[in-house]
Amino acid sequence: MAKLFFSALAYVGAAVLVALALLMLGAQAAPWVSGSFARGQTADDPTDISRLELSDAREADKGGEPPTALAFPEPPNAKEPNASTASVAPSAAAQQTGSSSSAAAPPNTAQSGATVARISEPYAFQPKGFSLVDAETRAALVNIYCTLTRGGARSAYSGSGVFVDPRGIILTNAHVAQYFLLAGHNENDAHCVIRSGSPAAARWNAQLLYIPKPWVEEHAEDIRKTRSIGTGEHDYALLYVTGAADGSPLPGAFPHLAPDTREAIGFQDDPVLVAAYPAEFIGGAAAQHSLHPSSSVGTIKTLMTFGSKLIDLLSLGGTPLAQGGASGGAVVNAWGRLIGVVVTTSEGATTGERDLRAISLAHIDRSLRVHAGVGLAALLALEPNAARSAYFAPIEPALSQRLREALQ
């Protein structure tokens, strides 16, 4: 998934020319891409959902190690699934002012079908305030740094994740965690480490607890591409810490965020904090040695669905986090609950011109129930090794083989 910087600039230039041409023709649909340097795909239907994977490549420092192309897995490129929309009840902000608000039919927000009602009093306690939420989120945030060796060449990939359980279980994107499926294979060997802190430093070793079979089957070939196309559907994975990188004892409990999988817990105009380890605008050496977390407070702009008529995707608009490396980052509400995971962004010269999107925890929970037969809460209630043995170990060999075949 590596790409030369100057080739990327050429793609951006081409995309700009195409966008100008479309504007002159009066086109209304915007290109959705997998990363800032990727060529976008224009959605014909403005109600379609688009996802993109940010995997920006830059040249690593020329030290004694083999050259490393650093890619930043983030959202995959715009694909048009059959999307319907769900009518929505007024947001919390709208209810307070007495006005009505509904998702106005942007990409994947329908005004027909099932009604999704806003939870008016979601918790028995008051909001914490975003200063405290930010501190708690940064403590639970991790950077997932993987290297992949193919034919003597090494590529590095950087993404984000967040602890969701005190035993060291991490929630991230499938397109970030897929490299764990290649660990220990000589022909295409991958090594991943969990980093945290500011700057990010190697802290823990981890293992896959679960990754959705449908995502791997659909996107295995994308591992060879510099940009992939998709929607964000089923793009999640769970990891769990197996030991400290330096061999020291593990903490008694990891700082973590409690996930909230309820439908409509995040609603249009609700304030949220987004936190991740973005890395698109820094060099490969800096991403490896001087990577710092970033966070930003904004609001949910649009509610979207993959066709379930339920809220699957949260549009967050332009934010400093709309860049490569933020995939798997946390979207947290004012009560400190995790309600979304960063998964996609649109093309734009600056982060303010992009639209960052996150899959909802409700979508992840529904997907788990369908494909694993158990919801997120029930999965987290199990001992990690037992959960892995029951729900992932039986499908792991086939998924690993599928990725290795894609790399041949």
Q: Which residues, in sequence order, are bridge partners of residue 174?
A: none
* pLDDT band, residue 284 (cuts 50/70/90): confident
Question: What is the distance of C-alpha 261 from the center of its chain?
Answer: 16
% the chain with pLDDT above 90: 54
- Nearest Cα neighbor of 313 from 208, 393, 233, 205 is 233
Mean pLDDT, rounded, for 46-75: 31
The larger pLDDT score, comparing residue 278 to residue 97, is at 278
Closest CA to 172 of 217, 219, 235: 235
Is 80 exceeded by the pLDDT of residue 90? no
Lowest average pLDDT, out of 29-33, 42-46, 214-218, 230-234, goes to 42-46
The DSSP output letter for 121 is S
CB proximity list for 321: less than 8 A, separation 6 or greater: 274, 275, 276, 278, 294, 295, 296, 329, 342, 351, 356
Give the pLDDT band of residue 67 (cuts 50, 70, 90). Answer: very low
Higher pLDDT, 96 or 330: 330
For the four alpha carbons of 79, 397, 388 and 326, in that order, the dihedral sign comes to negative
Residue 74 has pLDDT above 80, yes or no: no
- State the Cα–Cα distance between residues 235 and 221, nearest whole angstrom: 15
Lowest mean pLDDT among 58-62, 256-260, 376-380, 386-390: 58-62
Q: Examine the pLDDT at 237 and tell me if it is beyond 60.
A: yes
Which tokens is 300 given?
Answer: 């949910």
* Least confident range of 157-161, 227-231, 330-334, 374-378: 227-231
Alpha carbons 346 and 323: distance in angstroms, whole number: 9
Structure tokens given for 231: 């929607």
**Does position 236 have pLDDT exceeding 70, yes or no?**
yes
Q: What average pLDDT score do residues 333-353 get?
A: 87
- C-alpha count within 13 angstroms, C-beta hemisphere, residue 278: 22
State the amino acid at position 161 in one-letter form. G
- The CA dihedral of 90, 92, 98, 102, to the nearest 10 degrees, is -20
Summarize the confidence of residues 246-273 as an average pLDDT.
96
Q: What angle do CA 250, 157, 155 make, to 5 degrees?
A: 120
Q: In whole angstroms, what is the distance from residue 168 CA to residue 191 CA?
A: 19
Q: Is the pLDDT of residue 25 over 90?
A: no
Q: How confident is the model at residue 153 (pLDDT cuts 50, 70, 90)?
A: confident
Q: What percent of the chain has pLDDT over 70?
A: 70
* pLDDT for position 85: 37
CATH 3.30.2010.10 fits 5-85+118-407, yes or no: no
Tell which wins on pLDDT, 123 or 40: 123
Parse the chain into domains and list their residue ranges: 5-85+118-407
How large is the average pLDDT for residues 211-237?
89
**312 vs 309: CA distance, rounded Å:** 9
Q: Using pLDDT thresholds of 50, 70 and 90, give the confidence band for residue 34.
A: very low
13-17, 179-183, 227-231: range with lowest mean pLDDT = 13-17
What per-residue confidence (pLDDT) applies to 88? 44
The residue among 220 and 26 whose pLDDT is bigger is: 220
pLDDT tens sequence across 55-65: 322 222 223 33
Task: State the pLDDT at residue 115.
Answer: 67
- Mean pLDDT, residues 303-318 taken together: 91
Q: Supply the mean pLDDT for the chain.
A: 76
Bridge-based pairing state of the strands 338-345 and 356-360: antiparallel
Residue 168 has pLDDT above 70, yes or no: yes
